[in-house]
Each structure stands twice: as C-alpha cells, then as structure tokens.
Amino acid sequence: MFARTALALILGATGVLAQSIPDRPEKLTFAPVTFQIPRAAELKARLKNGIPVYLSVAEKEASPLVRITLTWRGGSYLEPKGREGLAQLFGAQLARGGTATLSAEKLEDRLEALAASLSSSCGDTSGNLSLTVLEQDLDEGLGLMLQVLTEPAFAQDRLDLAKRQQKQGLGRRNDAVTSIASYQMPFLLYGDSHFASQDPTAASLDALTRDDLKAFHARLLHPSNLVLTVSGRGARKALLAKLDAGLGTLKAGPGAQVSPAVPAPTHVRKPGIYATDKDAPQAMVQWAFPGLRRTDPDWHAALVMNQLLGASGFTSRLMKKIRSDEGLTYGVRTALGAGPHWRGDLTGSMQTKNRSVAYALRLALAEMRRMCDEAPAAEELKVIQDNLIEAFPSQWSGRQAVAARFAEEALLGWPEDWWVDFRAKVQKVTPADVRRLAQRLLKPDQLVILAVGKASDMEAGDGDHPGKLAEILPLPLARLPLRDPQTLKPLN
C-alpha cells in the first residue's frame, strides 16, 4: 500500500502515469503472437483395421477426463421410405437400450457408478457415440463403449418410450414460428422427396421397429464408415494400444455396407416470397441464395463477403442497419454453407415484429444490392480480414475441438491441410473480389424468402415505411400453408 502510493507520487510528478494511457486504442503496440496451427497429420493414427484416429492428449493435463468419440458416416439419408425418423431413433437408442449382456438399467447403473457419460446421436449424414470418463476408469468405460457399439440391444421398452417422447415432440411443431420455419424451409429448398425435408411423422414413427434399428446398426458397423477422436489426459502410445485391442479388432459384419455418397437434391427451386400464417407477436424470416462449395477457388472471397454482409455480428452491415440503426430486430445473421455433399446455400435469418417484416427485408435487400453495386472500402474490408486472421488461433482452442474438427473434415472428405493457408488466402481477398462474389451469389432472382408470422400483418407492412411484402422484390408472393404436425401434409 505504502509502496504503491510512493510510486504513484513519483510517476505523477514526472507525468509518466498520465501519459502512459494513450488517447486512442490504435496507439497501443503489441508484441507479435506466433501461432502454428495443429496439423491433422500430427494427430492422426490408424487402428489396425484402418479406422483413422485423431488424438489430442497429454499426460499432464489438469483435468482427469478422457473423451472418446466415434463418428460414423451415415444418417437419415439412408432411411427407407416410410421409416423417417429411423436414424434419429437409432442414434438416440444406441447408448440407451442396453447390450446383449447388460440390460439398459444395468448399463446406466455402471455408467453412473463411474460418473461417466456415454451418449449417442445420429443426424442427416453422420452420427456418433461419445464417452467421457475419468482416466482411472478408462478401461471399464471403453469396454462399455465397445459393447454398446458392437452388440446394442435396443430394448423394446426404451424404444417405446423414445417413440412416445418423439410423438409428443411432433405435436409441438406448430407451436412456435421458429419450429415452423425449420420444417418449412427444407421443403422450399430441397423439395418433397429429398431426405433433407423428410422429417418423421406419426405414421413413420409408429412403423419403426426394433428390427429396423438392428438392421440400420448392422449396415453402419463397417470400419470404413468410422472415424475416432480421443482427447484429454493420457499417453498417446498407451491409448492407441488400448484402442487397437478393442475397436481395432472390429470387422465388417454380415450386413455391413460402406455408406454410399449422400445424394444431392434434384428439386428445382421456385424463387419467391413465401408467407406462412401463424398468429405470434413476432415473425421469423429466413432466406437462401444458392451458394458454393468450400473447394471453390472463390471460397475465401465468398467467406469474406459473407462476413461483411451478415456473419460477423455487429461488424456486419445487416446488423448495423437493421438492428443498430433501425431497432427492428434483436439479431440478423447470414451463413455461408460449406456444402460438404452438394453446394451450400448462403442463408440468412432474423426475427422482427410482424408489421416490420416487409421493411426489414427491404433494408436487407438494399444492403445486398449495395454489396453488388460498390466494392467495399479497403478499411472496411480490412476489419473483416483482420478479424478472421487474428481470431484464427482461438478457433483451435481446446483439445476436444481440434480433434473433432479434423475427424469431421476427414469424414466429409475435405483436404487434410485445408487450414494451413487459410489466413494467407483471406489476406489476399480484394475489394473487387468481394463485389464480384456478391454479384455471383446475391442474385435476387434466385432468392427464396420464407416469413412465418401473422400473414395479414406481414403482408401489409408497417404503415410508417413504404411497401407491402409483395413489393419488396419482383418475385411471386405465395401463402405457404402450415403442415399437419403429425403427418406433415399441408393444411388448408
């Protein structure tokens, strides 16, 4: 205390203290930080049956936990017609339905005794089985994981319960504008027959049996469908030996198949403005332009363009205009889909009160037009580039995240060293590139817009600003009926 006062007096007398805070943050200088990104090849190993493993482990890790995740290629795109919901149920039940030698109750009891978690899930194109366990309990945890993986029982009562829960969930589909939008948009983008819009119905859930789950399991359980990640505390060599002794012995069973490529949608989109009527205080608005793949030579320019448009929070133009200037929304954002299986979409979404939908969309479209008309100022572009480059190390924080990223990318077939020159490529993007990509992607005549809310209010506009919903773009405006929550058939 005394020393501090004395120091302050000395500094104060010489004026150093006052001067030591610069008047602008730009005047601060920073020592460089060097960051080498982890390389997939350094983490990677293979089990003796060929399953790739990405290990990010250390013996001195403070946390005593080990996390092991087995990811498989395969999901709802493999569901037979009329069995929608199979992948999701399979995913949920794999770790919940017991094994050939352990009932569901016994399995849960053992896991609880270890304070371990073993969970599974399956989505459209992939799924996983994931174990978190204390290092001291790793052997038993791995044993349980392997049992669940190779001989799951899919106990009938657990399956019945899951079906009851899911059917209750179906009943909530039309309760909120967000959940309505999340089933409507895939129909607009992918059509009625592509897996991306094929959600479970009451009938398809009723039809699903234990045999369906078993058959689905059998077809997926092929070493060529699997990728493994390990993170947390442990020695790499010893862990690999353990995994080889267990998972490494897995062979393709009789029904096993290498999962085929994910089918691209064939649906021809009908650009337009679609309104679904739902009486709610606030509307959900979503839109989509056809995008590109991450392997496209222009990907980095598209990424920068998208950050500038709507993907970088308050730094992005849409957020500044629609939230900060106009107070019309709590948030607006865009996203550039990487399109692992077919080209992605450039999508956007916001929620705003029903009467503001037309005006907020008009503002959004004007910002997009500006992106196409004028190249951004170099300083504005630099903010976006600096952020992507400077924040790059933080994208690689945490062992689990790094291992998971490499595994996921391997499963999707992205190049292993894709991130190595990421920063350099972002740096090279010019204002002219951004404009070019805006012109390539932000084509209003390709746009699909969905607005879920009170249709009469959305269509009328707010009165204070010009324009009805039908007038925001020269595209057809159509009412899109709600779907029956149980059958997903259009109502009205």
Partner 1 sequence: MSIPIACRGWLAALLVAAPLAAQSIPVVEKTLSNGMRLVMVERHDQPTISLGWMAQAGSADERPGITGMAHLFEHMMFKGTRIIGTKDAKRDAELNDLQDQVQAQIRQEMSILRERQRRGEIADMMDPKARTPRLQQLLKDFDGLVQEQRGLVVKDEMDRIYSQAGGTGLNASTSQDRTFYIVGLPSNKLELWMWMESDRLANPVFREFYSERDVILEERRQTLESRPGGVVGEAFNAMTWAANTYHWEVIGWPSDIAQVTREQAAAFFATYYAPNNLTAVLVGDFDPAKAEALAERYFGRIPANTKGVPEVITLEPAQPAEQRMLAEVETTPSFQVEYKTVSAVHKDAPALQALAGILGGSPAFMGRPGAGGSGRGPTGRLNKALVLEQKVATSASASFRGQKLGGTFSLRATPAQGKSPADMEALLQTELDRVAKDGVTEAELQRYKKATQVGLWNRLETNSGIRETLSSFLAVGTVKDFEQAQTRFQALTREDIQRVAKAYFPRSGKNVLITQRAAAPKAAEGPMDPDLAALPEPVRARIKAQLDTMMKLDAVALKEQLTALEGRLSAMPPQARPTVEYLMKKGRERLQKLEAK
Binding to partner 1, residues 339-358 (CB under 8 A):
351-353
Q: Which of 45, 121, 140, 167 binds partner 1 (CB under 8 A)?
A: 167
Tell whether residue 3 is a contact of partner 1 (CB under 8 A): no
Q: Which of 161, 203, 378, 478 binds partner 1 (CB under 8 A)?
A: 161
Can you state the percent helix, strand and coil of the chain, rounding each to 5?
50, 15, 35
Classify residue 391 by its DSSP letter. T
Within residues 124-153, the interface with partner 1 by CB under 8 A covers: 132, 134, 136
Q: How far is the CB of 46 from partner 1 (least distance, A)?
A: 27
Tell whether residue 2 is a contact of partner 1 (CB under 8 A): no
Pseudo-torsion of CA 85, 86, 92, 93, nearest 10°?
Answer: 140
Within residues 14-73, the interface with partner 1 by CB under 8 A covers: 17, 20-25, 28, 30-35, 62-65
**92 vs 196 by CB, closer to partner 1:** 92
**23 vs 445 by CB, closer to partner 1:** 23
Within residues 415-434, the interface with partner 1 by CB under 8 A covers: none
Token pair for residue 474?
A: 């020269």
**413 vs 466 by CB, closer to partner 1:** 466
- H-helix segments, 55-209: 86-94, 104-114, 138-150, 156-170, 177-190, 202-207
**89 vs 384 by CB, closer to partner 1:** 384
Do the Cβ atoms of 358 and 458 come closer than 8 Å? yes
Do the Cβ atoms of 332 and 349 come closer than 8 Å? yes
CA dist 176 and 178 (Å) reads: 5
**Taking contact as CB under 8 A, which single stretch among the options 82-90, 194-202, 339-347, 395-403 is the one that binds partner 1?**
395-403
Do the Cβ atoms of 282 and 476 come closer than 8 Å? no
Tell whether residue 391 is a contact of partner 1 (CB under 8 A): yes
**78 vs 145 by CB, closer to partner 1:** 145
Q: Which of 73, 222, 300, 454 binds partner 1 (CB under 8 A)?
A: 454
**Taking contact as CB under 8 A, which single stretch among the options 214-222, 387-395, 443-451, 465-473 is the one that binds partner 1?**
387-395
CA dist 92 and 112 (Å) reads: 18
CA dist 186 and 64 (Å) reads: 42
Token pair for residue 182?
A: 């999340």
Name the phi and psi angles at 9, rounded to 5. Answer: -65, -45
* Helix and strand totals (H; E) in the chain: 19, 12
Token pair for residue 75?
A: 């999901």
Tell whether residue 366 is a contact of partner 1 (CB under 8 A): no
3-state secondary structure of 471: helix
Q: How far is the CB of 302 from partner 1 (least distance, A)?
A: 19
**393 vs 476 by CB, closer to partner 1:** 393
**46 vs 157 by CB, closer to partner 1:** 157
Q: Which of 277, 345, 408, 433 binds partner 1 (CB under 8 A)?
A: 277
**150 vs 315 by CB, closer to partner 1:** 315
Within residues 311-330, the interface with partner 1 by CB under 8 A covers: 312-315, 319-320, 323-330
The 281-310 site mask, x for binding partner 1 (CB under 8 A), equals: xx----------------------------
Q: For the chain, how big is the Rg over CA atoms in Å?
A: 27
CB atoms within 10 A of CB 47: 20
**328 vs 336 by CB, closer to partner 1:** 328
Of 44, 89, 91, give the one whose Cα is nearest residue 71.
Answer: 91
